[in-house]
Amino acid sequence: MSEPLVLGIETSCDETAIGIVRGRTLLANEIASSVEEHARFGGVVPEIASRAHLEAILPSIERAVKDAKISLKDLDAIAVTAGPGLVGALLVGTASASGLAQGLGIPLYGVNHLAAHVSVDYLTHDLPTDPTIALLVSGGHSSLLKVDDITGSITKLGATMDDAAGEAFDKIARILDLGFPGGPAIDREARNGSPTAIDFPRGLTMKSDWETRPYDFSFSGLKTAVARYIEQTPTNVRADVAASFQEAVVDVLLLKALAACKSTGIDSLVIAGGVAANSRLREVATERCAKAGIQLRIPSPALCTDNGAMVAALGSLMVSAGRPATQGAFDADSSLQVERVSL
């Protein structure tokens, strides 16, 4: 089967998202978000997310099928996010996917949300991408990966020791009164500020850190520094704080990603996950990778944040690689490790 038709289901957090791909071609990408229901709580409330998924999932599948101009019975396989994520939210996706796959008599792939973030790039750039270094930056995870084969061989080089990059954006946005989710709000605010106005710390970049934890991240010191700066500088300019904070995150993410490329001799970098939608990260990454002779790939902003296309893309790659489908009933795994691409 050269061009498998795959439906992907993503319900790990607050997006009920369905994607349909044929091979590497995106046919539908349907997203229903419950983000507004969580905004007044300043973060995603698991119970609210699960209920929203239950309401949205069937209509979303119907819309996606209609959009893609296919019929369910044409599908070759179904892929679903099996973890990591909120367990109640994940279960809505896995239960629906199991039922659908069983009813249609087609294989089901329970896949890793993090690997799916990286694999969505294959829908945009059809260059040979393995091996590659991947900088995965989302709301719940930040890590540097060596990807030898996205369908089954991922090595974690390093990860955050405290907050994820997106989480840092969300927390600083709250302190700055910019609302939730914070990433896009800081991205917008920062456009009116100076990235060099305040010299915020770059976590884990001391000489000793490069020796012991070259590919790990830490954003808690930065968060404290920003909070202290705001407290001690009553006349602070919000746009400058946003821009300087964003610059510190972007700088450290790219310092470590490029160092990983250099030390492994891999001249290819994929940046994925919600924070990869950040305009400054995309800009600085483009500059620095061009200078270093590294081939850079970043999916379009809409494919960086959670979506179903990424799950379908990984499913399609699994089918093409001849990987075995997930057998029997399986549990969602809220803390699924990134090295485990599928169940």
Task: Provide the binding-site residues for Zn ion, judged by CB under 5 A.
Answer: 138, 306
Using rule CB under 6 A, residue 84 touches ligand KG4: no
Q: Is residue 183 at the binding interface for ligand KG4, with CB under 6 A as the rule?
A: yes
How far are the Cα atoms of 19, 30, 80, 220, 313 from residue 77, in angstroms, in the given order? 12, 18, 10, 42, 11
Is 277 one of the binding residues for ligand KG4 (CB under 6 A)?
Answer: yes
Q: Which stretch binds ligand KG4 (CB under 6 A): 86-94, 138-146, 251-259, 262-270?
A: 138-146
Does 169 bind ligand KG4 (CB under 6 A)? Our answer is: yes
Whose Cβ is closer to Zn ion: residue 14's or residue 306's? 306
Q: How far apart are CA 284 and CA 289, in angstroms?
A: 8
Q: Do residues 230 and 236 lie in contact, with contact meaning Cβ atoms separated by under 8 Å?
A: yes
Q: Which residue lies nearer to ligand KG4 by CB, 28 or 276?
A: 276
Residue 299 binds ligand KG4, judged by CB under 6 A: no
Starting at the edge strand found earlier in the chain, the sheet holding 5-10 runs: 25-33, 15-22, 5-10, 77-83, 108-112
Q: What order of strands is seen across the sheet that includes strand 153-159?
A: 153-159, 142-149, 132-137, 268-272, 295-297
Question: Residue 206 or residue 302: which is nearer to Zn ion going by CB?
Answer: 302
Is residue 189 near ligand KG4 by the rule CB under 6 A? no
Helices and strands per DSSP (H, E), number in the chain: 12, 10
Closest to ligand KG4 by CB, 278 vs 316, is 278
- φ, ψ for residue 322 (rounded to 5)? 75, 20
Structure tokens at 327: 């057998």
Residues in the chain: 343
- HSE of 249, CA atoms in CB hemisphere, 13 A: 35
Residue 200 binds ligand KG4 (CB under 6 A): no
For residue 8, state whether it binds ligand KG4 (rule: CB under 6 A): no
Contact track, ligand KG4, 235-264, x by CB under 6 A: ------------------------------
Site size for ligand KG4, by CB under 6 A? 20
Q: Which of 184, 203, 299, 315 binds ligand KG4 (CB under 6 A)?
A: 184
Question: Interface residues with ligand KG4 (CB under 6 A)?
Answer: 13, 138-140, 166-167, 169-170, 181-184, 187, 273-275, 277-278, 305-306
